[in-house]
């Protein structure tokens, strides 16, 4: 009888094995930052939930851009790479997060989100600016310019 040896699976070993793009609509739910676990997100921008919104957004010491999105929303998928780029380029001045409106309905309802994608910039726990609909990188930068 051949004896099998179980290999310890760590986050690092799993990350090394993943070489193909993830289909987020079918992928297992990844862990996100903060108090959020098992939250679906698009790309490297961290996710927030109804439960973590107060801590991750409203109590943040720097401005936070919240991207309200859903996996069925084509314009949301179109602006996702732009949000990723902006987070990489300006993450030192503004925190960028995503909120999946399929799984989190309380915050979008509280802030009157009627259409997605919607981007809201929170400064000091208050909405400072809002962008509704898909926009170019330049248009988003123009709206955020005061905070960059």
| Per-residue pLDDT tens digits for 57-90 | 999 999 999 999 999 999 999 999 999 999 999 9
- Distance separating alpha carbons of residues 79 and 93, to the nearest angstrom: 20
* Cβ–Cβ under 8 Å, residues 71 and 100: yes
The share of the chain scoring above pLDDT 90, in percent, equals 70
Q: Which of 57, 76, 80, 134 is catalytic?
A: 76
Min mean pLDDT across 2-6, 90-94, 125-129 is at 2-6
Whether 76 is a known active-site residue: answer yes
pLDDT recorded at residue 3: 44
For residues 6-33, give the mean pLDDT.
42
The answer on pLDDT for 11 being more than 60 is no
Residue 17 has pLDDT above 90, yes or no: no
pLDDT band at residue 9 using 50, 70 and 90 as cut-offs: very low
Active-site hit among 45, 73, 94, 99: 73
Q: Does residue 27 register a pLDDT over 70?
A: no
73 counts as catalytic: yes
At 15, the pLDDT band (50, 70, 90 cuts) reads very low
Query: Does the predicted model carry a pTM greater than 0.75?
Result: no
pLDDT exceeds 70 at position 54: yes
Separation of first and last alpha carbons in the chain = 65
Residues 30/42, Cβ–Cβ less than 8 Å: no
Is the bond preceding residue 19 a cis peptide, omega within 30 degrees?
A: no
Averaged pLDDT of the chain: 81
Mean pLDDT value across residues 99-123: 97
In sequence order, the β-bridge partners of residue 119 are: 67, 131
Cβ of 59: how many Cβ atoms within 10 Å? 11
């Amino acid at each position: 009888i051949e004896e099998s040896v179980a290999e310890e699976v760590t986050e690092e070993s799993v990350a090394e094995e993943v070489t193909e793009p993830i289909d987020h609509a079918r992928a297992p739910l990844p862990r996100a930052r903060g108090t959020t676990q098992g939250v679906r997100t698009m790309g490297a921008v961290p996710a927030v939930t109804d439960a973590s919104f107060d801590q991750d957004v409203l109590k943040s010491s720097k401005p936070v851009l919240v991207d309200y999105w859903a996996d069925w929303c084509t314009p949301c998928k179109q602006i996702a790479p732009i949000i990723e780029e902006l987070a990489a380029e300006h993450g030192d001045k503004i925190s960028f997060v995503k909120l999946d409106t399929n799984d989190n309905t309380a915050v979008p309802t509280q802030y009157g989100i009627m259409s997605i994608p919607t981007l809201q910039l929170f400064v000091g726990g208050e909405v400072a600016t809002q962008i509704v609909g898909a926009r170019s990188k330049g248009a988003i930068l123009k709206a955020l310019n005061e905070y960059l």
